[in-house]
Amino acid sequence: MKYIIHYDIAAIILTAIILIHYYHKKTIKQPQSHVFTKLMWLSLFTDVLDIVTVAVDEYRLPSLAVNLVNVVYLILFNTAPFLYYMYLLTLEKRRELWTRKDKLILYVPVSCAVALIATSPLTKLIFYYNPADGYCHGKGFFLLYIAAVAYMAGTVGITYIYRAQMTIWQRSSVYMYLLASAVGILTQVFFPNVLMLQFAISMSLLVLYMSLENPDEDEDQILGVYNRRGFEKVVSAAIEEDERFYLLVVTARNFQIVRETAGVSFCQMMMKQAMDHLKVNVKPSLLFSISEGRFAVMVDGSREAEEVTEILQQEFDRPIVSHGMNIQINISILQIGYPEDVASIEDVMDSIDYAAVFQTEGTDDRVLHGSGELLNKMRYENRIQQAMQQALDNGTFQVYYQPIYSTEEKRYNSAEALIRLIDEELGFVSPDVFIPMAEKNGMILKIGEFVFRTVCEMMARERIWEKGIDYIEVNLSIVQCMQEDICEMLYGIMDEYDIPYSCINLEVTETVIARDILWNIMERMTVGGVTFSLDDYGTGYSNLMNVLKYPFHIVKLDKSVVWYAMENERAMCALRYTVAMMQDLNKHIVAEGVETREQSDILEELGCHYLQGYHFSKPVPEQEFLRKLT
Ligand code: C2E
Ligand code: MG
Ligand code: MG
């Protein structure tokens, strides 16, 4: 038979090019990369051996040589589908889940095939050779394909089972491989002299390489270091091998401003310069560009971590000169140690993303330790976010009421509505914890509306004004105030329950005033009869101008001010004058945080109109609050 070997030559060239590219580029050692490399080398040897089998047959070499070459060739040929199947298993990281028995089963088809092939020169089952006829297929030649078909079926099975976890690229490359093998085998059956199978397999390996193993995808082409994807791979591999390491994640805190003032190309130049300097001290393969203005360095131990931290600080200590501008980059460094701080790649990525908040806006610390504590805090916050979402979905947020005592009328004349989150798992979560989070993620809008609706519904149902309650105080967050339709929302709900507008008092803090968004809201709400309180007076940026300029009906003295006055003469003096001044300005005063009889007496004597605090009542559920009124 005259064999056509051109396809085999093309396959050799193709496989060799892929191998050269692969070894030339930095490659991250991952479990699947090992299998991939084996698969590539195997393919190359099989290509070469395919030609050798033709040659030994053509030149009618001694039967020992022909038998040997064919045995080796057929074994290699049968190992490829097995390795491909193994590759998929490692890719899906399911291998460790396999029991020993499963693993044994995995090797059965390939072992049977090897046994049949190796004994074939004697049994003549798969192939035989005699100098007269040359190389011939045996009666059981088809058995050769059984192992290959079994692994291909396994490949289809794995792809189907884990289809949800696989990307479209991964799935496509598997289908491509199966298709190429099927076409190759069919060609072999119908045109036995056209040796195209190896070429088809090389083509599918090329697709696999381009889609899954391409080192370019792990690299930041401008900076010449690994990117975030590469970072995740390197760190995962180190964790898998259980190698100790330290990560230093460097964030340019003022990156946003620098980019706006100096431009994108300056930022790239700056990053490149920093990387180039670092490459003197750190292996380039251990530098990673994670995102804009953020990169990471991997070192072995804590001593190296301190050294590199020092180098990094020096590097960014002096301003960089560009276009006549002196630009100072402020960096902060997050240190994460494996295994003491983190246990998995997810932990690492979570710490980095979480610390980003602190690194760009939070503390002044330049070096941050990504300890388990940080991670726990983050997990706790995530858990609270979930709890908030659940409470919103299931309507399990509660509104408590804290009665407010009128010193003139000697009774409760109002109350403050306070939201309560009681989660099955977390228990009571303080609003001081979850309200700021809800303000950040926007949930406060729904929470605020829920509180307002609950209050209005209760007032209408109980006709609360007939029970001596003149108004209920509802806290309004700055984020709510920033909504254009906030007034429509408030009026809409009050109208829905048909309650008098004067029964509502809205509490705002000075942050709302600082944003200059209050005028409009106050103007539109006070026309209807809604009144306003200035909450937390005496903390933050308390500004007397705000009390003078805005038509607040009530000023609420923060509990910290009240408590400080009780233990400090000068603070008491300030409180006395503040109360007197507010009276002159015709403002009503609520003193918060009244916890004892003595405090209550002093505050009443000073002239506070209303008192709120545990001495009278803690915030209580609706029914308990209503009972207190009768
Ligand atoms: P705030 O508006 O200043 O509410 C007064 C806080 O002081 C309440 O805390 C109340 O339980 C507490 N308090 C009252 N009297 C005493 C006392 O005698 N001793 C002590 N130790 N504390 C007392 P709470 O309910 O934990 O709320 C904390 C903050 O969360 C509130 O401060 C308010 O800023 C915010 N918040 C609560 N509910 C809502 C809401 O529905 N919407 C919005 N936007 N914020 C809310
Ligand atoms: Mg309040
Ligand atoms: Mg307050």
Lowest mean pLDDT among 91-100, 191-200, 305-314, 441-450: 91-100
Lowest mean pLDDT among 102-106, 247-251, 308-312: 102-106
- What is the predicted pLDDT for the residue at 581? 94
- Any atom of ligand 1 within 6 Å of the Cβ of 535: yes
Considering the domain 394-628, what is its CATH architecture?
Answer: Alpha-Beta Barrel (3.20)
Residue nearest to atom 41 of ligand 1 (CA): 419
323-349 pLDDT, tens per residue? 677 778 888 888 888 888 888 888 888
Q: With a cut of 60, say whether residue 31 has pLDDT above it.
A: yes
Q: With a cut of 60, say whether residue 95 has pLDDT above it.
A: no
Residue at 96: amino acid letter: E
- Which residue matches tokens 């009780």? 566
- What is the predicted pLDDT for the residue at 542? 63
Between the CA of residue 332 and those of 245, 251, 318, 413, what are the distances in Å? 19, 5, 15, 52
- What is the predicted pLDDT for the residue at 435? 95
Longest Cα–Cα distance in the chain: 124
- Any atom of ligand 1 within 6 Å of the Cβ of 418: yes
Return the ligand number nearest the Cα of 430.
Answer: 1
169-225 pLDDT, tens per residue? 778 888 888 888 888 888 877 887 888 888 888 888 888 888 777 777 788 888 888
C-alpha 473 to ligand 1 mean position (Å)? 11
591-627 pLDDT, tens per residue? 999 999 999 999 999 999 999 999 999 999 999 999 9
Q: How confident is the model at residue 34 (pLDDT cuts 50, 70, 90)?
A: confident
Show the 3-state SS of 467-510. Answer: HCCCEEEEECCHHHHCCCCHHHHHHHHHHHHCCCHHHEEEEECH
Closest CA to 563 of 542, 588, 538: 538
pLDDT mean over 451-471? 96
Q: With a cut of 80, say whether residue 391 has pLDDT above it.
A: yes
Considering the domain 218-370, what is its CATH architecture?
Answer: 2-Layer Sandwich (3.30)
The protein residues having their C-beta less than 5 angstroms from ligand 2 (an ion) are: 475, 507, 535
Lowest mean pLDDT among 99-103, 427-431, 605-609: 99-103
Percent of the chain with pLDDT strictly greater than 70: 94
Mutate to test the pocket of ligand 1, among 475, 542, 615 (most ligand atoms within 8 A of CB): 475
- What is the predicted pLDDT for the residue at 363? 52
C-alpha 619 to ligand 1 mean position (Å)? 9
- Any atom of ligand 1 within 6 Å of the Cβ of 536: yes
C-alpha 540 to ligand 3 mean position (Å)? 12
C-alpha 475 to ligand 2 mean position (Å)? 5
- What is the predicted pLDDT for the residue at 57? 80
567 exposed, middle or buried (CB, 10 Å; 0-12, 13-18, 19+)? exposed
362-388 pLDDT, tens per residue? 555 577 676 667 777 777 888 898 999
* CB 536, CB 559: distance < 8 Å: no
C-alpha 592 to ligand 2 mean position (Å)? 9
Return the ligand number nearest the Cα of 556.
Answer: 3
- Any atom of ligand 1 within 6 Å of the Cβ of 531: no
pTM: 0.59
Q: Strand 411-423 relative to strand 471-475: parallel, antiparallel, unpaired?
A: parallel
- Which residue matches tokens 């953020």? 294
pLDDT mean over 441-459? 95
**SS3 state of residue 587:** coil
Residue at 479: amino acid letter: V
219-242 pLDDT, tens per residue? 888 888 889 988 998 898 889 888
pLDDT mean over 247-262? 84
Mutate to test the pocket of ligand 1, among 388, 398, 414, 435 (most ligand atoms within 8 A of CB): 435
- What is the predicted pLDDT for the residue at 195? 83
Q: What tokens appear for 154 in the block?
A: 């396994």
468-508 pLDDT, tens per residue? 999 999 999 989 998 989 999 999 999 999 999 999 999 99
* CB 540, CB 511: distance < 8 Å: yes
Ligand 1 nearest atom to the CA of residue 507, by list position:
2
Percent of the chain with pLDDT strictly greater than 90: 38
What sign results for the dihedral spanned by CA atoms 556, 559, 564, 566?
positive
Q: What is the CATH number of domain 6-213?
A: 1.20.1070.10
518-560 pLDDT, tens per residue? 889 999 999 999 999 999 998 876 678 888 889 999 999 999 9
* CB 586, CB 568: distance < 8 Å: no
Closest CA to 56 of 5, 116, 123: 5
The domain locations on the chain are 6-213, 218-370, 394-628
Q: How confident is the model at residue 163 (pLDDT cuts 50, 70, 90)?
A: confident
- Any atom of ligand 1 within 6 Å of the Cβ of 138: no
- Any atom of ligand 1 within 6 Å of the Cβ of 612: yes
Q: How confident is the model at residue 246 (pLDDT cuts 50, 70, 90)?
A: very high
**SS3 state of residue 177:** helix
CB-based contacts of 371: which residues, under 8 Å, 6+ apart?
340, 341
Return the ligand number nearest the Cα of 613.
Answer: 1
**SS3 state of residue 264:** helix
Residue nearest to atom 3 of ligand 1 (CA): 536
- What is the predicted pLDDT for the residue at 96? 54
pLDDT mean over 129-148? 82
Ligand 1 nearest atom to the CA of residue 451, by list position:
41
**CA–CA distance, 507 with 516 (Å, rounded to integer):** 16
Ligand 1 nearest atom to the CA of residue 476, by list position:
44
Lowest mean pLDDT among 82-96, 304-318, 433-447: 82-96
Q: What is the mean pLDDT of the chain?
A: 87
- What is the predicted pLDDT for the residue at 162? 80
- What is the predicted pLDDT for the residue at 25? 72
- Any atom of ligand 1 within 6 Å of the Cβ of 181: no
* CB 271, CB 209: distance < 8 Å: no
- What is the predicted pLDDT for the residue at 495? 97
- What is the predicted pLDDT for the residue at 94? 52
